[in-house]
Chain A
Amino acid sequence: MQTSNASTKTYHPFIVFHQRLFRSKPLGGFGGVVFAIFLLGGVFADLLAPYGMNETNMFNSLQSPSLSYLMGTDHLGRDVFSRILYGAQLSVIVGFLAAGLATIISVILGVVTGYFGGKTDMLIQRFVDAWMTFPDLVLLIVVVSIVGPGTTQIVIILGCLYGIAGSRIIRGSVVSIRENMYTHAAQSMGAKTLHILWFHILPNVMPVVIVLFTTRVGAVILAEAGLSFLGLGIPPPSPTWGSMLSGSGRTYMYLGPWLALAPGICLTVMVYAINIYGDALRDMLDPRMRGR
């Protein structure tokens, strides 16, 4: 019944791809679903959250989870579940924007150094080497303490940080694509460099770019949580998961363990879900896996 339907109807390539992904990579598919739940939860936080994110109710402070407060309340009587939803919104915004910026930087640096090679490659990649010797967190702390905390700053800093390091991955892929005969064929027919980059190099690095993006989303969300935990992230009262962990979570951990557990578990599950989904994407987009 269902198979006869599938053979007559043509679905969008995105749906066909995910059907295949679920069949061959169930765990990755599960990760995708979990991530989608967080994504939708964040996007529709305004509709889903039973309370406002900063709505205090001093009579109900430090309540344990119940039907009216699904994840309990914090020391100011704010609903933790609502704050988790709004936190997901912030995490999603920061995650997608910073990972998007990082991917754009990686693609530009990677394509330029990988395609042109030579001295440009030497200079830029040695700079990338130097950049990568600094521990991420040290760089973040230094830059944030100079420019001050805030969503825009966090997005730009994390985008640059991961973008520069990720250029190495794109570069490697571009170098191998450049050596293909179709690139040579385009050069020999007199195509301009921009034409070759746009029509031959870029479409063929796309699988790498997609995977880089998904793994970066996870990494950025984690990094933002780390910064917020240190008090260098998005400033309160915005409910980020990191600041929930470091603020009420740490202070009232013994009185209300749910204050630390809720953001901690959400963070772990979301990042893990994105990573297994990204892994599955990588495997599925590998041409050698085609038709399996």
Chain B
Amino acid sequence: MKADNIIEVRDLKVHFPITEGLLRRQVGILPAVDGVSFDILRGETFSLVGESGCGKSTTALSVLKMQPVTSGTITFNNEDITHHSASQMRPIRRKVQMVYQDPYGSLNPRMKVGSIIGEPLRVHGMAGDKEKYNARIRELMQVVGLMTDMADRYPHEFSGGQRQRICIARAIALDPELIICDEAVSALDVSIQAQVINLLMDLQERLGLTYLFIAHDLSVVRHISNRVAVMYLGRIVEIADRDTLFSQPKHPYTQALLSAVPEADPELEASRQEPLIIGEVPSVRNPPSGCRFHPRCSQSLERCKTQVPMHQTSGSTVLACHLYD
């Protein structure tokens, strides 16, 4: 493992059992994540993109061990945490925090904002004396751009953007190393999105944070990421630097995703080529054989139907496609 890797995920599989009937007989498995490998470098923003249901969130939750892992290994700061128990995970959880998609659901409606932001400190016994604790909460509120006299209010008195700032303040309370942003800006208005993204980038610079950023909005991803991994039906199809991925997408699925991004300029929009994708996403419950993208790929070869493409690494890019064998 390289010293500057904060997270290493190797061949991660998360399979959910599908049960039926009164006795919960297992009738099949749902391979939500099926052999995913990636590294996250310290200080970077690593994005996971893909359509709904492709396993982005499940991958992120497994990194936090909030999801039982079927197989594979997860390494955090050179420590294999794959089989850590809940109590072994506690010191890890101090260093990995999460920001959620829904700023309404992720704040307890019956807790005051100050106590929400201070909760991680109390949970990890780092609250200290009252004076210091309150000062820390005021400092955190200032850092994320909230008025410090709002600490005694309840979450429902805040707007969506402010609520997301509260979530961010809570996430940075323990000086974490890694923050997992699960669709952290998807639920916000576009103008608020920009503010929150700028706040995240600003905090990254100031506090030396690493982000695992999960999103489906490619323009946001392009703005914030250093490296991007594209997922399709539980597998990573391509990992590349942000600029490489957006200027020279290699995998047909990445090309299709990028071609689906609408252009703001109507003239450019008119000349934009048609999305290169056919049909609908197949069910994860019964994924296609070989390359999972082959039924929808416009360039699929005969062996794509039978052979699973291997991940080829060249430099910082990873690609799984038979076209480049």
Contact = CB atoms under 8 A, between A and B. Distances in A.
**Interface size for chain B: under 10, 10 to 19, 20 to 34, or 35 or more residues?**
20 to 34
Q: Is the interface of A mostly helix, strand, loop or mixed?
A: helix
Contacts of B170: 185, 189
Contacts of B107: 182
A208 interface: no
A44 B110 CA distance: 36
Given A185-B100, A195-B123, A190 B106 contact: no
A181 interface: yes
Nearest to B65: A188
Interface string A176-218: 0000111011111111100100011001101000000000000
A192 B100 CA distance: 20
A106 B185 CA distance: 40
A287 interface: yes
Given A181-B100, A181-B102, A186 B109 contact: no
B94 A190 contact: yes
Nearest to B156: A290
Contact of B123 (A181, A182, A189, A287): A189
Interface in B159-203: 167, 170, 174
Contacts, number: 58
Contacts of B111: 199-200, 203
B105 interface: yes
Nearest to B120: A189
Contacts of A186: 119, 123
Interface string B93-136: 11001101010011111110000000110011000000000000
A287 B110 CA distance: 11
Contacts of A287: 109
B93 A204 contact: no
Nearest to B101: A181
A204 B98 contact: no
B66 A200 contact: no
Nearest to B180: A188
Nearest to A193: B86
A189 B106 contact: no
A192 B90 CA distance: 9
A191 B106 contact: no
A185 B66 CA distance: 10
Query: Which residue, A186, A190, A204, A290, has most C-beta atoms of chain B within 10 A?
Result: A190
B90 A190 contact: yes
B323 interface: no
B124 A190 contact: yes
Contacts of A189: 93, 97-98, 119-120, 123, 170, 174
A26 to B, nearest CB: 27
A204 B110 contact: yes
B64 interface: yes
Given A181-B100, A184-B66, A185-B100, A191 B108 contact: no
A199 B111 CA distance: 8
Contacts of B106: 181-182, 184-185
A227 B313 CA distance: 80
Contact of A187 (B66, B105, B120): B66
B105 A188 contact: no
Interface in A198-255: 199-200, 203-204, 206
A182 B98 CA distance: 11
B108 A190 contact: no
Contacts of B100: 181, 184-185
Given A186-B119, A188-B98, A203 B93 contact: no
Contacts of B120: 189
Interface of B: 64, 66, 89-90, 93-94, 97-98, 100, 102, 105-111, 119-120, 123-124, 156, 167, 170, 174
16 contacts: A181-B100, A181-B102, A181-B105, A182-B106, A182-B107, A184-B66, A185-B170, A188-B66, A188-B93, A188-B98, A189-B93, A189-B174, A190-B89, A192-B123, A287-B109, A290-B156
Give 8 closest A-B pairs by Cβ, nearest first: A190-B93, A181-B106, A181-B105, A203-B110, A182-B108, A190-B90, A191-B123, A189-B120
Interface of A: 180-182, 184-192, 195, 199-200, 203-204, 206, 287, 290
Given A185-B106, A190-B93, 16 more contacts: A180-B108, A182-B105, A182-B108, A184-B100, A185-B167, A186-B119, A187-B66, A189-B93, A189-B97, A189-B123, A190-B94, A199-B111, A199-B119, A200-B111, A204-B110, A290-B156
